[in-house]
Amino acid sequence: MSPGQEPVFPDYETDTSQTSKLLRKFKETPFVPIGMAGFAVVVGYGLYRLKHRGDMKMSLHLIHMRVAAQGFVVGALTCGVLYSMFREYVVKPKE
């Protein structure tokens, strides 16, 4: 690109690092990464508890772990939707 030309996508070309993209997305929708982190924590705890499940069958333990992980993700996404609706319809000044 010559020095006199303007970039075609100025926002994209100046904001190309993965860290800055991740931080921007986290600021826009904070509950998605929270849901992903919660999912990872629930799955990690379930795998840790796999050794100490006692007489519980493996399939039952995995079903409980899946339901807990899905519940956390759905709850986080629901909170995110409610938060964005609150910001848009309640906090946003009337035009």
Read off the pLDDT of residues 10-22 as tens digits, 9 standing for 90 and up. Answer: 555 555 688 888 7
pLDDT band at residue 78, thresholds of 50, 70 and 90?
Answer: very high
18 domain residue, yes or no: no
22 domain residue, yes or no: no
Residue 30, token pair as written in the block: 């904070």
89 domain residue, yes or no: yes
Backbone angles phi and psi of 44, in degrees to 5? -60, -45
Q: Any idea which residue has 């904070």 for tokens?
A: 30
pLDDT of residue 30: 82
Q: How many domains does the chain have?
A: 1
Collect all residues with Cβ–Cβ distance below 8 Å to 21 and sequence separation of at least 6. 15
75 domain residue, yes or no: yes
Q: Report pTM.
A: 0.64
43 domain residue, yes or no: no
54 domain residue, yes or no: no
Per the structure, the complete domain to which residue 64 belongs is given by 60-94
Q: Any idea which residue has 């964005």 for tokens?
A: 84
81 domain residue, yes or no: yes
